[in-house]
């Protein structure tokens, strides 16, 4: 989680897109930054906590609530109202370093190496304890995924550091749901679709990406990133009604896969291309491990990064009714590519933004103060501001979550 002294000081410590891909959350040696994607040209940034080194920064959708962890206090989880620059509750401390934090409207999940804590989210008794998954398989990288769906509030995490098993936990009913044998090698990346019906996974080998049904664990899709080179998969993300899946890796290529009718459900009479013929023939004449290669789907579209070996995260989003591929790198750039959702093929680089050059917008203070020292909205909503803290007297803080424009 920490960086060595001789590493580039401009390298970001944390880079993630939020749940609906409308903003980018950044943690750096000079605090946090939030970048909103209202257009592809003029990006705006909100920053804060400039005296802290932020190693985790998670935003709940486009709200003003930010969860963060600093290198100075790796066991302490903080919640900040970024518009008012006040903490919404006292920090929560854990008995080991926090490796990951995931937010949804219903739940807040904190990942330690050998334990998982589940708390009530914004739509309830905020941060009250719900459940602790004790003695989880060792998870030194904090690998996990939390569904953003309110209906399917699911958590995914590895079955162990040396296995490709995936454990799905129901965070609403607080019970194990299913264990999926996703890969032969240890897991490297995972992501739920928007509805929480499917999950995409990749292993440390990095050549195969699979999409599984949550209901029964069946493999619905199997995509091949490449034939020869193994790669580190950095991120997976569904987009546009879960019809597309993008993947970034240690190679210079971002792959985009299209989730059409699963191969095993297609009418084979509809497939007439030579590669389809080879796939069908391979099932009869070739060993199973070789015939699988012919039946794995290749990428529908792809994008080339300017440099190799960039640690990146990617997502597909809609901006002004147009689909775009967004790629953010840990060395401080955002790359915006066009995406032809009908034809696929190579995506063109349309914009390149250097994060350090994006103008910082002043967060609006929409609420004026009352004579008692409370802001008007805070008094109405049941909040009391004391010593740069917001203390809630109401059972939910969801009403206080205002989008940041």
pLDDT in tens, 152-185: 999 999 999 999 999 999 999 999 999 999 999 9
The pLDDT tens digits of the residues spanning 176-192 come to 999 999 999 999 999 99
**Regions of the chain short of the pLDDT cut 70:** 1-10, 226-228, 261-296, 362-405
SS3 annotation, the chain: CCCCCCCCCCCCCEEEECCCCCEEEEEECCEEEEEECCCCCCCEEEEECCCCCEEEEEECCCCCEEEEEECCCCCEEEEEECCCCEECCCCEECCCCCCEEEECCCEEEEECCCCEEEEECCCCCCCCEEEEECCCCCCCCCCCEECCCCCCCEEEEECCCCCCEEEEEECCCCEEEEEEECCCCCEEEEEECCCCCEEEEEECCCCEEEEEECCCCCEEEEEECCCCCCCCEEEEEEECCCCEEEEEECCCEEEEEECCCCHHHCCHHHCCCHHHHHHHHHHHHCCHHHHHHHHCECCCEEEECCCCCCCEEEEEEEECCEEEEEEEECCCEEEEEECCCCCCEECCEEEEEEHHHCCECCCCCCCCECCCCCEHHHHHHCEEEECCEEEECCCCCHHHCCCCC
> What's residue 362's pLDDT?
65
Q: Give pTM, 2 decimals.
A: 0.84
Please name each of the domains of the chain with its CATH number.
Answer: 104-231 (2.130.10.10), 240-363 (no CATH)
Task: Give the pLDDT confidence score for residue 297 in this predicted structure.
Answer: 79
pLDDT at 104: 96
pLDDT at 96: 97
């Amino acid at each position: 989680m920490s960086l060595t002294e001789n590493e580039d000081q401009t390298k970001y410590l944390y880079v993630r897109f939020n749940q609906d891909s409308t903003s980018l959350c950044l943690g750096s040696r000079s605090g946090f930054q939030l970048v909103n994607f209202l257009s592809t040209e003029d990006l705006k940034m909100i920053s804060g906590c400039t005296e802290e080194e932020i190693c985790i920064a998670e935003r709940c959708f486009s709200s003003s609530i930010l969860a963060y962890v600093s290198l100075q206090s790796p066991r302490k989880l903080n919640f900040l109202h970024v518009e008012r620059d006040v903490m919404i509750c006292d920090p929560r401390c854990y008995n080991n370093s926090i490796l990951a934090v995931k937010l949804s409207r219903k739940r807040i999940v904190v990942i330690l190496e050998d334990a998982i804590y589940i708390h009530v989210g914004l739509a309830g008794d905020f941060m009250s304890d719900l459940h602790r998954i004790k003695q989880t398989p060792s998870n030194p990288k904090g690998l996990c995924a939390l569904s953003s769906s309110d209906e399917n509030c699911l958590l995914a995490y590895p079955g162990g550091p040396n296995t490709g098993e995936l454990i799905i936990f129901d965070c609403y009913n607080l019970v194990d749901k299913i264990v999926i044998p996703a890969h032969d090698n240890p897991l490297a990346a995972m992501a739920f679709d928007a509805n929480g019906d499917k999950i995409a996974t990749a292993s440390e080998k990095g050549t195969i990406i699979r999409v599984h049904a949550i209901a029964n664990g069946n493999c619905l899709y199997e995509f091949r990133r490449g034939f020869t080179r193994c790669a580190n998969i950095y991120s997976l993300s569904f987009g546009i009604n879960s019809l597309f899946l993008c993947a970034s890796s240690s190679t210079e290529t971002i792959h985009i896969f299209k989730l059409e009718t699963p191969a095993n459900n297609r009418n084979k009479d509809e497939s007439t291309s030579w590669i389809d013929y080879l796939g069908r023939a391979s099932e009869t004449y070739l060993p199973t491990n070789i015939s699988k290669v012919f039946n794995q789907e290749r990428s529908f579209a792809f994008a080339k990064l300017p440099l190799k070996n960039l640690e990146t995260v990617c997502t597909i989003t809609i901006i002004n009714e147009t689909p775009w591929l967004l790629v953010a790198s840990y060395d401080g750039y955002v790359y915006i590519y066009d995406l032809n959702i009908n034809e696929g093929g190579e995506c063109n680089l349309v914009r390149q933004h250097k994060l350090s050059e994006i103008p910082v917008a002043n967060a609006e203070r929409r609420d004026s103060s009352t004579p008692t020292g409370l802001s008007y909205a805070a008094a109405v909503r049941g909040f009391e501001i004391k010593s740069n803290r917001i203390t809630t007297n109401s059972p939910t803080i969801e009403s206080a979550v205002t989008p940041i424009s």
